[in-house]
Amino acid sequence: MENKITLEKEERLLTIDEVAEFLHVNPMTVYAWVKDEKIPAFKIGKVWRFKKTEIDEWLKKQKYKK
């Protein structure tokens, strides 16, 4: 039998500008949300990155907040 290695589907990483465009907000707004820990993000070196799946989940949760 042949061993098969299954790779998980690559996670899409977004930049600040891509998140801003996706959410239709100014990039400075995204920076402010990152600073206030209001949006899921992480740093790679000196740049912020966002997992597309986490942004989608975060966005779903926002519609239930008042």
Domain ranges of the chain: 13-62
Compare 28 and 3 and report the one with higher pLDDT. Answer: 28
- Name which residue leads in pLDDT, 6 or 28: 28
Is the model's pLDDT at 4 over the cut of 60? no
Phi-psi region of 37 (alpha: psi -120 to 50; beta: other; left: phi over 0): left
The number of residues in the chain equals 66
pLDDT of residue 48: 97
β-strand partners of 49: 42
pTM, entire model: 0.78
Q: What is the pLDDT of residues 28-50, one digit of tens each?
A: 999 999 999 999 999 999 999 99
Q: For residue 43, give the 3-state DSSP assignment.
A: strand
